[in-house]
Structure 1
Amino acid sequence: MLDDLDEFDLKILEILQADSSRSTSEIADMVGLSQPPCWRRINKLKEAGYIKAQVSLLDRRKVGLNAQIFAQVKLSAHGRSNLAEFSEAIQSFPEVLDCFVMMGSVDFMLRIVARDIEAYERFFFDKLSQVPGVQEINSMVALSEIKSTTQLPLR
């Protein structure tokens, strides 16, 4: 899909990934276009699905979410319906930021945030372990965050 994009499009996407609050005028200046064609390109990129959303990224610690946990989940059965049931259940948990289907010894990898370890313990016992079909959960608490980005490498 990147073959469909020219240098202007790539620069626009890089700028928006770094700071989506920039005005069209600022972006146009940064990429060397006038405002109207820059605006059209941004809209074209949105319509084509390159830009999924424009959001503000919050600092999880500033909002009191001091614990970040990675949980490996193994299900007791591996039929499509079992995977779908777990996937549907996990959607209702705001503590779960990311959920990936895995290959290998575990079925799912979750990234979870909580106020503290005690809050995670409540989530673990009251919610996650109660999802039908969950056989095993291996939790790993992140001690610190070395790199965390939402910017995709476009080149």
Structure 2
Amino acid sequence: MSLDALDTRILTALQEDSRIPLNDLAEKVASSRSAVWRRIQKMEADGVIKNYTVILDPEKVGLGVMVFASVKMQAHSRDLLPHFLEKVREFPEVIECHTLMGDIDFLIKIRVKDVTAYETFFWTKLSQIDGVREISSSIALTAVKNTTMLALTPAG
């Protein structure tokens, strides 16, 4: 889908506050209420807007440790990779998992209470998945930038 200037203004405003009242949103993006409503409905139907959600402060909910785990697999077989992905999706501690090209097969972002909780997760869950050859873990000290906002520019 090609996004024009109005679409990008609407999406940027919704990324800042998805609970903004429609009248306020229309005023903020300099358009009519009905035009903004139609655009939002179309972007939802087209899958541009996937979901509306609440972003929690991990530290305030007791998940103050963020770990990045780089995973290398023993082999890239038709059985091992789908099994690995299925298992990782089941772990609530995993908040992101990305397949990579290069020396590392997967990069996993994990949120846990503390280092002891990560150690337990590591030994009882992540390292127990069939086909995992090596895991390298890095604990994040400070989040220099942490956003869910995408930098949008109109097409054209």
Matched, 1:38 2:60: no
How high is the sequence identity, in percent, across the aligned residues? 45
Structure 1 stretches of 4+ with a deviation exceeding 3 A read none
What is the correspondence of 1:78-117 to structure 2 with a 5 Å cutoff? 78-117=76-115
What is the alpha-carbon distance in structure 2 between the residues aligned to residue 10 and residue 121 of structure 1?
A: 43
Matched residues, number: 153
Matched, 1:67 2:65: yes
Higher relative contact order (CA 8 A, sep 6+): 2
What TM-score, normalized to structure 1? 0.95
Q: Secondary structure at the match of 2:20?
A: coil
Matched, 1:28 2:23: no
What is the alpha-carbon distance in structure 2 between the residues aligned to residue 149 and residue 81 of structure 1?
A: 35
1:49-68 CA-partner distances (Å, limit 9, x unpaired): 11010001000001010100
What is the identity, as a one-letter code, of the residue corresponding to 2:28? M
Unpaired stretches in structure 2, ≥5 consecutive residues:
none
1:80-127 CA-partner distances (Å, limit 9, x unpaired): 332111111101001000000111111100000000000000000011
Unpaired stretches in structure 1, ≥5 consecutive residues:
none
RMSD: 0.9
What is the alpha-carbon distance in structure 2 between the residues aligned to residue 14 and residue 80 of structure 1?
A: 40
- Give 1:52's aligned residue: 50
- Give 1:127's aligned residue: 125
What is the alpha-carbon distance in structure 2 between the residues aligned to residue 7 and residue 137 of structure 1?
A: 44
59-68 or 4-13: which moved more?
A: 4-13
What TM-score, normalized to structure 2? 0.95
1:106-150 CA-partner distances (Å, limit 9, x unpaired): 110000000000000000001111111111110000011000111
Q: Secondary structure at the match of 1:91?
A: helix
Give the Å deviation of 1:38: 1.1
